[in-house]
Each structure stands twice: as structure tokens, then as C-alpha cells.
Amino acid sequence: MNSFPNLPKSLGGPKSAAALLPLPGIGEVPEVDQPEIGPKLVGFESKDARSRPFNLLRAQLIKKLAETNGRLMGITSPAPNAGKSFVASNLAASMSQLSNKRTILIDLDLRRATIARIFGLEGPEGLTEYLLGDEIALPQIGRRIGDSSLVVYPTFPAPVNSAELMVGDRLHELVARARALDDDAIVIFDLPPVFANDDAMLVAEQLDGILLVVEQGVTTKKQLQSSIQLLHPTPILGTIFNRFTGGAGDPYGYGGKYDGYYSS
Ligand SMILES: Nc1ncnc2c1ncn2[C@@H]1O[C@H](COP(=O)(O)OP(=O)(O)OP(=O)(O)O)[C@@H](O)[C@H]1O
Ligand SMILES: [Mg+2]
């Protein structure tokens, strides 16, 4: 899908975005070899070079969230297929490695849920059934991944009116429970794209901040600006450049350190 077919050229990288937008580019993720699923996701493997982009993102985000006293963050993008679920899963895995920091990953992309597949989780009961008000309590849905401190709340495909569920009592209860977790816990919500339907906006209203995944060479400036307007007033924590090919030009100045990684 491209909602804006005739738009100005797409964003080339964090520097061009920073020049155009009042938004911090808080990191980038290059094309990573397809990670293994489940407890072997690269984000869990701090010694694996492929986990480095996620570890850098993790540090930036923890800092950003601390600045606002926030703990509930959503991940979305203007259009589909930007890598939201991929980034959300690896970032959640990476965060959970920090002195076993309690991390929760919630799949709220009810129509195109993929988190269960990424972590190798099987149904049938997931968040859709919980949001529909079936006789299911949240603890029945949450799954700890291996022996990590990451708990995933998966969604399994089912035909539903997702927008209705996004404004229902059950979603409010889910968010309230996430807020009630201890101070250290971080909760990541994988959301649908902003332009797909109302869902991302309806959930974003209830969260502390949003991470926007920007696909290098694909997402346009106009798409990004429209998304920011639609998500207002939820704070945008920053943008992540996915499938980034800038390599050594990373804004942290750590390029040399990762030369081996980028060239491998
Ligand atoms: N940096 C990356 N390196 C390697 N593969 C990636 C990367 N980013 C995304 N992918 C792959 O691209 C595909 C699409 O990514 P993903 O499902 O995360 O996108 P999405 O934005 O969540 O899509 P949707 O809008 O359908 O929810 C997946 O197969 C994912 O594994
Ligand atoms: Mg997704």
C-alpha cells in the first residue's frame, strides 16, 4: 500500500530526516540475517553481533522513557511492512537481557498479528479472545519466553472489528494493568500501521510514547509528517531507520567499531 503515490522523494537516512523533521532519529537497524525464532531471536544473544543495533536502540529508549517517566510505548509506522514486528520483537528480547529487566511485548496488530509466529507460540487463545471479553484472564495469555524475563502476549488471527476492541473496557484494563507493573518494567505494544485503520491512533492515545519505524528509501517525508499529526498528542520518542544501509555513517559515531559487522 502507498497512500501517497506521488509524494516527494523518500527519506534517505537519519541525517536527512533530522534536517526535515523535529524528531530525533534514535537509531537504525540494518538488514539482519533472518533471525531464528523463539528463545533464539538475535535480540536475546548479546554476544551475537546482529544484536548490536537492538542493544543501541534499547539504551536510547530507556533513556527517553526515563525522561518522561513513561513505561508504555507503542511501535508503529506510516505504511505496512516497515519492520515494526521485527524491531519490536528483537528490541523486547534485547531489553529483557538487561539485568533481567522485566519486559512485556503485546501484539495489538489484531488483523496482521505476527508476534506469535516470531516467538513460535501456539494458540488458540490470545489477546483477541481476551479483548472480546471471553472468559479469559490476562495471565492465561501471557507466555514467558524460555527462561528470560520477557513475557509475550500473542494474538492469533480471527476476523474481528478491531477498532471497536481498541476502545473497549478490556483494552483499558490491559493498559491499566501494564501501568500498575513495577517501576522497572517496560511494556512494548506492536501496533498496526498508522494508515491502515484507526487502531494505532486509538491505542496510542493511551500510551506514554510512540516509536516510528521508518523504512529507508520507502517512507516519505509527507507520510511521516501525516503520521505524527495523526498520533498527536502522544509523544513521539523518535524514529528508527530500518533496513538502514548507512553503515559506518551511524549517528553515534561508532561506525568503526562495527566495521566487521557491517562488512560481514
Ligand atoms: N532489518 C531487517 N533485517 C531483516 N529482515 C527484516 C528486517 N526488518 C524487517 N524484516 C523482515 O521483513 C518482513 C516484514 O517485517 P515485519 O513483519 O516486522 O513488518 P511490519 O511493519 O510489522 O509489517 P505489518 O505492517 O504487516 O505489521 C519480515 O519477514 C521481517 O522478518
Ligand atoms: Mg507487524
Lowest mean pLDDT among 96-100, 110-114, 230-234, 252-256: 252-256
**Nearest alpha carbon, ligand 1 atom 1:** 31
Asked if residue 259 is part of any domain, the answer here is no
pTM, entire model: 0.88
CATH number, domain with residue 159? 3.40.50.300
pLDDT band at residue 249 using 50, 70 and 90 as cut-offs: very low
The pLDDT tens digits for 36-81 are 777 779 999 989 999 999 999 999 999 998 888 899 999 999 999 9
218 alpha carbon, closest ligand: 1
Once rounded to an integer, what is the mean pLDDT over residues 30-35?
Answer: 78
What pLDDT was estimated at residue 3?
37
Asked if residue 2 is part of any domain, the answer here is no
What is the widest separation between alpha-carbon atoms in the chain?
A: 54
pLDDT of residue 250 exceeding 70, the answer is: no
Residue 81 CA, ligand 2 centroid: distance in Å: 7
What pLDDT was estimated at residue 79?
95
Asked if residue 220 is part of any domain, the answer here is yes
Contact between residue 18 and residue 67 where contact means Cβ atoms under 8 Å apart: no
The pLDDT tens digits for 136-182 are 999 999 999 999 999 999 999 899 999 999 999 999 999 999 999 98
pLDDT of residue 25 exceeding 80, the answer is: no
Lowest mean pLDDT among 71-75, 150-154, 200-204, 217-221: 217-221
pLDDT of residue 256 exceeding 90, the answer is: no
Residue 130 CA, ligand 2 centroid: distance in Å: 20
Once rounded to an integer, what is the mean pLDDT over residues 174-194?
Answer: 94
Atom of ligand 1 nearest to the CA of 30: 1
Burial of 172 (0-12, 13-18, 19+ CB in 10 A): exposed
pLDDT of residue 253 exceeding 70, the answer is: no
Q: Quick one: what percent of the chain has pLDDT higher than 70?
A: 83
How far, rounded to the nearest angstrom, does the alpha carbon of residue 43 sit from its chain's CA centroid? 13
Average pLDDT over all residues of the chain? 85
What pLDDT was estimated at residue 76?
98
Atom of ligand 1 nearest to the CA of 81: 23
What pLDDT was estimated at residue 12?
61
Asked if residue 226 is part of any domain, the answer here is yes
Calpha distance 75→132 (Å, rounded): 23
Asked if residue 262 is part of any domain, the answer here is no
To test the pocket of ligand 1, the residue of 31, 42, 57, 81 to mutate (highest count of ligand atoms within 8 Å of its CB) is 81
To test the pocket of ligand 1, the residue of 37, 86, 107, 108 to mutate (highest count of ligand atoms within 8 Å of its CB) is 86
Q: Which of these, 233, 226, 247, 215, lies nearest to 12 by C-alpha position? A: 215
Contact between residue 15 and residue 229 where contact means Cβ atoms under 8 Å apart: no
Q: What's the number of domains the chain is made of?
A: 1
| Residues spanned by the domain of 70 | 14-247
34 alpha carbon, closest ligand: 1
Contact between residue 127 and residue 107 where contact means Cβ atoms under 8 Å apart: yes
Asked if residue 6 is part of any domain, the answer here is no
What pLDDT was estimated at residue 20?
53
Calpha distance 25→238 (Å, rounded): 5
Looking up cell 509524494 gives 7
Asked if residue 5 is part of any domain, the answer here is no
- 250-258, long-range: CB within 8 Å, 24+ apart, which pairs? 250/28, 251/14, 251/15, 251/25, 252/56, 254/56, 258/49, 258/52
Q: What order of strands is seen across the sheet that includes strand 25-29?
A: 25-29, 236-242, 209-215, 72-76, 186-190, 103-107, 150-153, 143-144
Residue 114 CA, ligand 1 centroid: distance in Å: 10
Calpha distance 127→141 (Å, rounded): 7
Spell out which residues line ligand 1, taking CB within 6 angstroms. 29, 31-32, 77, 80-86, 109, 112, 114, 193, 242-243
pLDDT of residue 131 exceeding 50, the answer is: yes
Asked if residue 77 is part of any domain, the answer here is yes
Once rounded to an integer, what is the mean pLDDT over residues 192-211?
Answer: 95
